[in-house]
Amino acid sequence: MSVDVQTRLNSFLRSVIEWRGGVVEWPEHAEAGEALLPEDVAASLDCPEVATLAYQPGAGDLVADLATDFVDRIEVLFETKSRVGMCRVPGLYLKQSAMEAPMARAFTWLNARVRLRSTVATRIEYHVWHFHAALRSEDQWEDVLSITLNSQSQVEIHMPDLEALGSVEPSEEPVTSPPNTYRSASRRALAHLETRSSDFVARLESRLKRDRRRLKDYYHALAHQAKQKAARSRTEQSAQKQEEQSRAVQLELRRKLLELTERYAVSGELTPLTLNRVELPVLALECEVTRKRARRTHTAYWNPVLKTLEPLRCHRCGEGTFVVAFTDKAVDATCPRCNEGQ
């Protein structure tokens, strides 16, 4: 298991245990750690209240290894608890100076005039989604994906663990619900799944190519032997027999190749595990965009955790971009790649 996967599993397991009231002592790069679990959590996980945590099977009471029953064991903790958590950060420093210059440095506007109309301090939610991703074929690949979205712009933001901020406190259900971010989050999770599983898929394709070559070599050799036998006999009956054998070999080869394709076919699953809604103070920059005769207001956000402006979301692919083009009529934000494909 790679160091990157270990780090993310460490963070995920720590978050889940602390969410259920436990305490974790497991340094990021250590092979093992410990957790102090509430009685009900220990019973659900079928392990001691003082449990050892590890990456290697057999090395701890709870093993963070996707090749084991780790996900199934952890899943029971969500059956008796809400899978949606809410917290807030009461206050973070918000930039006080004028934002025209930072906005000009951050963004490149390709085909429109953009004017900053106002800057407003406000509070919005960031949605931290965790998904379980799996690909199954001749072999199996699994991972836990974490996606953080600005709930208003629905653009993915690469931020540190928001729960690790010292001033985070629990939050009750707000009066108004934020926009539904599941579709945007799952779309981004699929993009991450494709990237992270690329080595796994490449190995499968390499093995499929190897097995196809072996099959073809074997059946071509059979056909060649039958042809040589027929050539030595030089009778009409043997020639007919050779032709029948050749057709049979070709049919069997096609059948075997179809079986091979089915065996290496990949099926995928993407399952939402948790959603954590974190409310933060931000600066909202209201921008008037003029594209030919059409106008529209877009909002960019200054993030106090990253201390920088966030990208705008491409309305086609969903990725964040600082190099922005706009469509003619709807004045939708578009990344350069999608703009070229219009």
50-94: pLDDT as tens digits: 999 988 888 889 988 888 888 888 888 876 555 777 888 887 888
Q: Give the model's pLDDT for residue 29.
A: 79
Q: Give the model's pLDDT for residue 114.
A: 96
Would the pLDDT of 341 be above 70? no
Q: Give the model's pLDDT for residue 30.
A: 85
pLDDT digit string (tens) for 144-160?
Answer: 899 999 999 999 999 88
Q: Give the model's pLDDT for residue 248.
A: 83
More confident residue, 291 or 221: 291
DSSP H helices in 197-342: 198-233, 236-264, 336-340
Q: Give the model's pLDDT for residue 27.
A: 86
Angstrom distance (rounded) from CA 178 to CA 86: 12
Angstrom distance (rounded) from CA 19 to CA 43: 16
User: Beta strand pairing status for 140-150 and 50-54?
Assistant: unpaired
| Tokens encoding 168 | 């985070």
More confident residue, 202 or 225: 202
pLDDT digit string (tens) for 91-145?
Answer: 788 888 899 999 999 999 999 999 999 999 999 999 999 999 999 998 889 898 9
| H or E element at residue 124 | strand 113-136
Distance set, CA 92 to CA 109, 166, 303 (Å): 29, 11, 10
